[in-house]
Amino acid sequence: MAKRIQFSRHGGPEVLEYVDYQPAAPGPHEVRVRNRAIGLNFIDTYFRNGLYTPPALPSSLGTEGAGEIEALGSAVQGLQLGDRVAYATAPLGAYSELHVMPATQVVKLPDSIDFEQAAAVLLKGLTVQYLLRQTYEVQPGETILWHAAAGGVGLIACQWAKALGVQLIGTVSSPEKAKLAEAHGAWKTIDYSREDVAARVLELTDGAKCTVVYDSVGKDTWTTSLDCVEPRGLLVSFGNASGPVEGVNLGVLAQKGSLYVTRPTLFGYANTQERLQAMADELFAMLAAGKLQVDIGQRFSLADAAKAQTALSARQTTGSTVLLP
């Protein structure tokens, strides 16, 4: 028997339960990982509240973690018992002491990165990798806008953009978060609680706006984001922190300058073992070179996952948050 977090109905953090369960034996192409640290991400709240639909209820939560392989399927190759691994695109169930997943969804963890670092950085780091290096390959000298720059993904983006010679303007909700984003490499910050974001972007770019805007907030920032994109520029909408964007009028894209919009996901990019490993290798190389630092702002026990999600949704967290079994 082992412990995990599960929910039997959709709702707020109060629906999360800390229960005993019987972990499955790995199938021929699967591994079972003993989690040492678990990543907390906004997508977890989407499954809990019903925005995204889990396979069935009751359901477990979480797709990211790090630990050691404690059981192998009969057909698994290239992995051994005791290997240190991390994962970010596994089936739901990371909020647990033991998690079974396809062997193709784990990456080997370099000795230089500990379990907490891996759980704090892999999903967010892979997200920044595909956004800055694949969805739109940013170039030195470009100016971009990144919403929620003091969050877990945002702080990695600030560092990665700076390493690439890109001027990142980050939106934040307080002076403290502005200082945090700037300390991590943001070129400029905009406090959306006190400033007009679109107007400030115009000032900072001398009226040119941004080649690309990265928006994980969703509904509340949709119009503002469009107003910050230069003609024929790109809006990358990759999250729904304030709710999903609905009722989009494509004609608005023409009115605002023949804009492009995309709604990517990590799973659309890390869709093969080879691509996942290549993306992880680039992320690990950035960490090894000291170009990225992992900022773990909060640690919660697995049993306190509801408290962790409450803090995340209330934007009371900074950097990354990990759950510890």
Domain borders along the chain are 2-121+278-324, 140-263
Cis upstream peptide for 58 (omega within 30°): yes
What's the pLDDT tens digit per position in 166-185?
A: 999 999 999 999 999 999 99
- Quote the CA–CA distance of 167 and 145 in Å, as a whole number: 9
Dihedral sign computed on CA atoms, order 247, 250, 254, 259: positive
- Quote the CA–CA distance of 96 and 105 in Å, as a whole number: 17
Query: Which residues are 236's β-sheet partners?
Result: 214, 262
* Dihedral class, residue 141 (left if φ above 0, else alpha if ψ from -120 to 50, else beta): left
Helices (H), 20-103: 42-49
- Quote the CA–CA distance of 199 and 231 in Å, as a whole number: 16
Assign domain 2-121+278-324 to its CATH superfamily. Answer: Medium-chain alcohol dehydrogenases, catalytic domain (3.90.180.10)
Nearest partner of 171 among 162, 180, 161, 163, judged by Cα: 180
Phi, psi for 222 (deg, rounded to 5): -55, -55
Dihedral sign computed on CA atoms, order 264, 284, 137, 198: positive
Per-residue pLDDT of the chain (325 residues; tens, 9 = 90+): 999 999 999 999 999 999 999 999 999 999 999 999 999 998 899 999 998 999 899 999 999 999 999 999 999 999 999 999 999 989 999 999 999 999 999 999 999 899 999 999 999 999 999 999 999 999 999 999 999 999 889 999 999 999 999 999 999 999 999 999 999 999 999 999 999 999 999 999 999 999 999 999 999 999 999 999 999 999 999 998 888 889 889 999 999 999 999 999 999 999 988 899 999 999 999 998 999 998 898 999 999 999 999 999 998 887 789 999 9
Nearest partner of 174 among 316, 26, 24, 57, judged by Cα: 316
CB-based contact 159:186 (threshold 8 Å): no
Cα separations in angstroms, 124 against 154, 252, 308: 9, 31, 17
- Quote the CA–CA distance of 208 and 198 in Å, as a whole number: 11
- Quote the CA–CA distance of 110 and 121 in Å, as a whole number: 13
For domain 140-263, give its CATH number from 3.40.50.720, 3.40.1710.10, 3.40.47.10, 3.40.50.1980.
3.40.50.720
Phi, psi for 315 (deg, rounded to 5): 55, 40
